[in-house]
Amino acid sequence: MLDVRKSNERGAASFGWLKSRHTFSFGHYYDPKHMGFGPLRVINEDNVAPGRGFDSHGHRDMEIISYVLDGALEHKDSMGNGSVLRYGDVQRMSAGSGVVHSEYNHSKTEGVHFLQIWIEPDSVGAAPGYEEKHFDAASKAGRLRLIASSDGRDGSVSMRQDAEIYAAIVDGDDALTHALRAGRQAYVHVVRGRVTVNGVELAGGDALKLADEQAVTLARAEAAEVLLFDLPQ
């Protein structure tokens, strides 16, 4: 099964300081056909104006991953963590039994553009946790770089779910294949550029659900950056 999710079909939110596109139902956007895919529950593409952001608010029982595309994202939370994330930085916050955090554009002059990803955990009520790591462009060029996994292998951030997230930068003759084990499915989100995934042409903001496939193949790319989610069914 190959199911395309076009960029312009996503939910939209605009609050002046925030412009966001929602891949799955979120906030005021509700579509019963797009409630998530396996444990993948949220992919929000957020653009935040200079000096603005999300005030302190709480979460429970969710693995929240931030993938910064441009600009500087400032994070603070009730666990005592505080940092400024830039392109290449991946942050994982396990909300667990409860955490309060804020996310702001660190710059007073430039916007910040990032993906906010939520994955449902495989257990509830665990202690909150936090982790961040940097993956430069070279580490993702022409390859699928593991950036998040259940066991933190290969230098990835760890999360409480039997899922894997890979990032890749592909262009020209680059051709990448990721095998899917039995009982697995995949979700590919194109961050920017253009790429063909299992024969389907996709552009920035587009995505593809893959089920009952043996592999995911990325080819015929034009300056593309891609996130690939390997998920349980």
The per-residue pLDDT for 44 is: 98
What is the reported pLDDT for 35?
Answer: 97
Which helix (H) or strand (E) covers residue 137, if one does?
helix 137-140
Distance CA(167)–CA(153), nearest Å, equals: 15
Q: How far apart are CA 233 and CA 231, in angstroms?
A: 6
Q: pLDDT tens digits for 113-129? A: 999 999 999 999 999 99
Confidence grade of residue 15 (pLDDT, cut at 50, 70, 90): very high
Is residue 156 within 8 A of residue 214, CB to CB? The reply is: no
Give which of 197, 217, 220, 216 is closest to 207, Cα–Cα.
197
Q: 């056909």: which residue's tokens?
A: 33
Residue 62's pLDDT band, with cuts at 50, 70 and 90, is very high
Using only C-alpha atoms, the chain has a radius of gyration, in whole angstroms, of 17
Please give the sequence-ordered ranges of beta strands (E in DSSP) within 96-144, or none if there are none: 99-105, 112-119, 129-134
Residues 111 and 171: their CA atoms lie apart, in Å, by 26
Which pLDDT value is given to residue 201?
98
Strand order of the β-sheet with 18-22 is 11-14, 18-22, 40-48, 112-119, 63-70, 89-94, 129-134
pLDDT in tens, 144-170: 999 999 999 999 999 999 999 999 999
* Residue 166 confidence (pLDDT): 98
Residue closest to 64 by CA, chosen among 122, 119, 18? 119
Retrieve residue 194's tokens.
């253009």
Confidence of residue 94 (pLDDT cuts 50, 70, 90): very high
pLDDT-derived band at 130, boundaries 50, 70, 90: very high
First-residue to last-residue Cα distance in the chain: 13
Domain 2-232 class, CATH top level: mainly beta
**pLDDT the model gives residue 106:** 97
Q: Is the dihedral of CA 207, 110, 16, 81 positive or negative?
A: positive
101 token code pair: 């955090």
* pLDDT at site 93: 97
Q: Residue 160's pLDDT is what?
A: 98
